[in-house]
Structure 1
Amino acid sequence: MTKKILFKLALSLAAVVALVGLVMGIMSEEASKSVTAETGYTGQTASGLIAAIGESARQIGQDYNLYASVMIAQAILESNNGQSALSQSPYYNYFGIKGDYYGNSVTMPTWEDDGTGTTFEIDQAFRSYGTVSGSLYDYAALLSTDTYAGTWKSNTNSYADATAALTGLYATDTLYANKLNSIIETYGLTTYDQPLYTQDPYQSGVSSSEIGSGDYVWNVHRGAYTDSDTLAQDDAWSAYTSRNE
Structure 2
Amino acid sequence: MNVLDRLFAERAASVRSGLSTADAPEPGGMADLEGTAGPGGAMDLGGAAGPAGTAGPDGAVGPGQVTVMVVMRRLDLGDLVHGALEFTAGLSPEEADIWYRNWTRTRFLLGNPHNLLGSPAVRTVGPGGHLAWLGPVDVARPPGPSRLLKPVTGRLPELPPSVHLPGERRGAPCEIRIACRGLTTAGYLIHLHHTLAEAVLLGKIDPRTPVRLVHVPDLDDESALSSAYARVHYGADGALRLYTFLA
Q: Which has the higher strand share?
A: 2
Larger radius of gyration: 1
TM over 0.5: no
Higher RCO (C-alpha 8 Å, min separation 6):
2
